[in-house]
Amino acid sequence: MTSQKQPDQPQQHTAPLEMSPEGFRQAGHQLVDQISDFLAELHDKQVTVSSTQAEIRQHLGSDSVPQFGAPVTDLLRETADLLFEHSLFNGHSRFWGYITSSAAPIGALADMLAAAVNPNVGAWQLSPVASEIEAQTIRWIADMLGYPPDCGGLLVSGGNMANFVCFLAARTARADKSLAKKGLFQGQQQLRVYASEETHTWIQKAADLFGLGTDAICWLPLDSEQRMNVEALATEIVKDREAGSLPFLVIGTAGSVSTGAVDPLPEIAAICRQHNLWFHVDGAYGAMAAVLPEASEALQGLSLADSIAVDPHKWLYTPLEAGCVLVRQPQHLVETFSYHPEYYNFAENDQNAPINYYEIGPQNSRGFRALKVWLSIRQAGKSGYIEMIRDNTELAGTLYDLATANPELEACTQSLSITTFRYVPLDLDPGKESSAVYLNDLNRALLDQLQHDGQAYVSNAIVAGKFLLRACIVNFRTKLADIEFLPNLVVQLGRNLDAEMRPRAQ
């Protein structure tokens, strides 16, 4: 044999995206320092600055793809500054808009760790520890809600996706078994799903995306407290059956988006049992409040559900994105999502094999979003969550009381941690029909100003035709002083706007 000489190795080349351990350490320390300063200064910042799209695009510079690379430390420093100067800060103590929580700082560190190891949590073999951490996270969330910890479940991007997954599990369990293969076609029995008028818009997307059509939704009226009218539910199911349709799913909401209303879940569960329908609870926002020992009976009824959607990126305060699916019988997820392509050499899901997440949900490759949830739960513990969620709920009650006591405010609703109210000038009678339109215009203008002004951030709800200001406190940084600040701010802005707007309205 002739010994062949290897050709000379080219000079050791570092790939354009590689970082030396020392370079990573330096860039990382610099970024962590910047984030720490940002967190320290957050309280003294405005909740938001009104940047225009043009201003922001100018900061981003030329739209041609950068031809050559740039040093990491410079890039991170610039980008952190850009974000700290032009964002809306939902971690601010006076942010109460929509349902977006303050994010636990440990979540930011968890995301960095998760991305560094980068397990693919689609299959157990590709992510042994991460898969088990996700499974444990699911058991913990179930346990905190009073749901059986041996349920099936997984993390997804948010409430919409979690509700979609449960919707599909329900369809597999209760609709025609041939549907997964043959698809929906005209002329078969119409599937029917029942939900109150306050149900979040995911239900329309689901009915559309999964081929049922939005006409498949039977919208149920509300009672005086914005909850599902359960008598109407029973009546409609019977009516639909008689008309030849196929009722399969009822959705109860635990914490509606507008007012935090909790549907009477035990009563809905009883009707579902009686008619053999799947009972799903959309608890994206409110389900976690079931961790409180003093949780209402209505809310505790979520333990009776066949499936639950709950958002860790809401009341578990993890950074976006994290939604969670819980399904009482794990088998329903397997039956809905498990296909076995030839190109995978993974132990398939049976009772004893470890979970391959691609077999129980819609995603294939999956990131390690469980880590931030798992670490947040470990940092605060169940007792820490009870303290934070209780505190948020009590502050919402305080806001309602302050609005009630203020002669220029009308307190309207409070449930869980959502309070609605509006500004009513002293000399206007809100009961008068002629005032109704003006009060809505005035409060809409007031909301616009609040959202641009940046001293405190709320959103709106419309209840019985009234445009209301809505504070949703899913924020562990909010203190009593922040809440006391809001009524005075609203009254101040309200007086000024009224002085401007009323002469023009008359």
Query: Rule CB under 6 A: which residues touch ligand PLP?
Result: 99, 158-160, 200, 202, 253, 255, 257, 282, 284-285, 311, 323
Min separation Cβ 467 and ligand PLP, Å: 20
Closest residue by beta carbon to ligand PLP: 159
Q: In what order do the strands lie in the sheet with 459-463?
A: 409-415, 418-423, 466-472, 459-463
Q: Are 355 and 319 in contact (CB under 8 A)?
A: no
Q: Which is nearer to ligand PLP, 152 or 255 (CB)?
A: 255
Least distance to ligand PLP, CB of residue 108, Å: 19
Those residues whose C-beta lies under 8 Å from the C-beta of residue 54, and which sit 6 or more positions away, are none
For ligand PLP, give the closer residue by CB, 27 or 472: 472
Nearest distance from C-beta of residue 283 to ligand PLP, angstroms: 7
Nearer to ligand PLP, 160 or 349 (CB): 160
Cβ nearer to ligand PLP, comparing 130 with 316: 316
Q: Which residues in 35-65 are b (16+ Cβ under 10 Å) and which e?
A: beebeeebeeeebbeeeeeeeeeeeeeeeee
Q: Shortest distance, CB of residue 316 to ligand PLP, whole angstroms? A: 12
Minimum CB distance to ligand PLP, residue 199 (Å): 8
Tokens of residue 137, six digits: 């996270």
Residue with tokens 């590709």: 126
Inter-residue contact 305 to 184 (CB < 8 Å): no
Helix segments in 100-176, DSSP class H: 105-117, 128-145, 159-174
| Sign (positive or negative) of CA dihedral 57, 58, 61, 63 | positive
Q: Give phi and psi for 327, each to the nearest 5.
A: -130, 125
Residue 245 CB, shortest distance to ligand PLP, in Å, is 25
CB of 162 to ligand PLP, least distance (A): 7
CA 474 – CA 316 distance, rounded (Å): 9
Please identify, using beta-carbon distances, which residue of 200 and 366 lies nearer to ligand PLP: 200
CB-based burial label for 26 (10 Å; 0-12, 13-18, 19+): middle
What distances in angstroms separate CA 218 from CA 192, 305, 325, one per listed residue? 7, 19, 23
Q: Which two tokens stand for residue 201?
A: 């818009």
How far is residue 57's CA from residue 292's CA, in Å, rounded to a whole number?
45
Q: How far is the CB of 315 from ligand PLP (least distance, A)?
A: 10
Q: Tell me whether residue 46 or residue 157 sits nearer to ligand PLP (CB atom).
A: 157
User: Which residue lies nearer to ligand PLP by CB, 111 or 498?
Assistant: 111
CA–CA gap between residue 263 and residue 464 (Å, rounded): 18
Q: Look at residues 128, 114, 117 and name the one whose alpha carbon lies nearest to residue 354.
A: 128
- Provide, rounded to whole angstroms, the least separation between the CB of residue 400 and ligand PLP: 20
CA-derived radius of gyration, the chain: 26
Closer to ligand PLP by Cβ: residue 119 or 286: 286
Strand pairing of 323-327 and 278-282? Answer: unpaired
For ligand PLP, the closer of residues 323 and 487 by Cβ is: 323
Nearer to ligand PLP, 111 or 282 (CB): 282
Q: What is the smallest separation between the CB atom of 261 and ligand PLP, expressed in angstroms? A: 10
Q: Which two tokens stand for residue 314?
A: 């809401």
Q: Token match 């995206």: residue?
A: 17
Task: Name the percent of the chain in helix, strand, coil, to the closest 5.
Answer: 50, 15, 40
CB of 160 to ligand PLP, least distance (A): 4
**Type and span of the H or E element at 241:** helix 230-242
**DSSP label of 262:** B
Which is closer to ligand PLP, CB of 202 or CB of 278? 202
Determine contact, residues 77/30, Cβ cutoff 8 Å. yes
Least Å distance, CB 329 to ligand PLP, is 23
* Distance separating alpha carbons of residues 477 and 474, to the nearest angstrom: 9
